[in-house]
């Protein structure tokens, strides 16, 4: 099983999600644009596509000209019914690729946030049995309109569109469920000089260690379950 991973910045790899994918037998082919990577010529040879997060916005083609090609590749995987999963920017790029749009949200969402799973999630192949809520890491300033035909699976208080599915095999996760503790600490440390000096972000910085202590184990368990199920899901569709 070969999974193509699109990575947009060196500090934004697949982390805990990638570790479980490999433990489940998947081969990961990472295209890291931040290190000069380029998209493959097509989707042949790939059983699934993972699109990660990044600091850019989903329509920032002027500064990141490869984004249009990324959107086109997402659409190609989707229309070929090969599984796609996008995280944060990846979820926004799926929306762009399939007829939605991404745009700046009215409020930021940073830190561990309660994500509520709805009744449709209870019957979803990736989310069934995972309860009604989880605290998952967020770090985004944009949101998106879901593309036509989407099924909303989870929400949060500040940002409604958290997890969605388009068709049977394309998933978008606004939340950063892939993160490890080390990744969160690295992101926080490297962003201290650039975060706005306001109550919201100051509270995030002041409490992030406590947030990690309370929520990282549950987040990692959620990640491992999603990764294992997604690997099984890809394998089943490949066999069919």
User: What positions carry a catalytic annotation?
Assistant: 88, 176, 178
The greatest distance separating any two alpha carbons of the chain, rounded to the nearest whole angstrom, comes to: 53
Supply the angle between the helices 199-239 and 181-191 in degrees, to the nearest 10: 140
Q: Which of 127, 113, 146 has its CA nearest to residue 223? A: 127
Fill in the DSSP letter of residue 95: H
Instruction: Please report which residue ranges of the chain form alpha helices under DSSP H.
Output: 15-23, 67-79, 89-97, 181-191, 199-239
Beta-bridged to residue 134, according to DSSP, are 115
């Amino acid at each position: 099983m070969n999974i193509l991973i699109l990575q947009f910045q060196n500090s934004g790899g697949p982390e805990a999600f990638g570790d479980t994918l490999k433990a489940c037998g998947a081969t990961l082919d990472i295209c890291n644009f931040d290190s000069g990577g380029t998209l493959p010529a097509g989707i042949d040879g790939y059983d699934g596509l993972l699109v990660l997060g990044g600091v850019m916005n989903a329509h920032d083609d002027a500064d990141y000209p490869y984004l249009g090609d990324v959107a086109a590749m997402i659409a190609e995987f989707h229309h070929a019914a090969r599984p796609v999963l996008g995280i944060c920017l990846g979820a926004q790029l799926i929306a762009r690729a399939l007829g939605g749009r991404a745009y700046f949200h009215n409020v930021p969402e940073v830190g561990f946030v309660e994500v509520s799973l709805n009744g449709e999630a209870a019957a979803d192949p990736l989310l069934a049995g995972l309860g009604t809520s989880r605290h998952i890491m967020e770090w985004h300033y944009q949101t998106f309109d879901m593309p036509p035909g989407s099924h909303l699976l989870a929400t949060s208080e500040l940002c409604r569109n958290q997890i969605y599915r388009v068709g049977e095999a394309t998933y978008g996760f606004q939340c950063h469920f892939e993160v490890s503790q080390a990744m969160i600490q690295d992101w926080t440390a490297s962003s201290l000089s650039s975060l706005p000096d306001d109550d919201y972000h100051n509270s995030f910085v002041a409490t992030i260690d406590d947030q990690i202590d309370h929520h990282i184990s549950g987040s990692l368990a959620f990640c491992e379950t999603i990764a294992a199920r997604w690997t099984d899901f890809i394998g089943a569709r490949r066999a069919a």
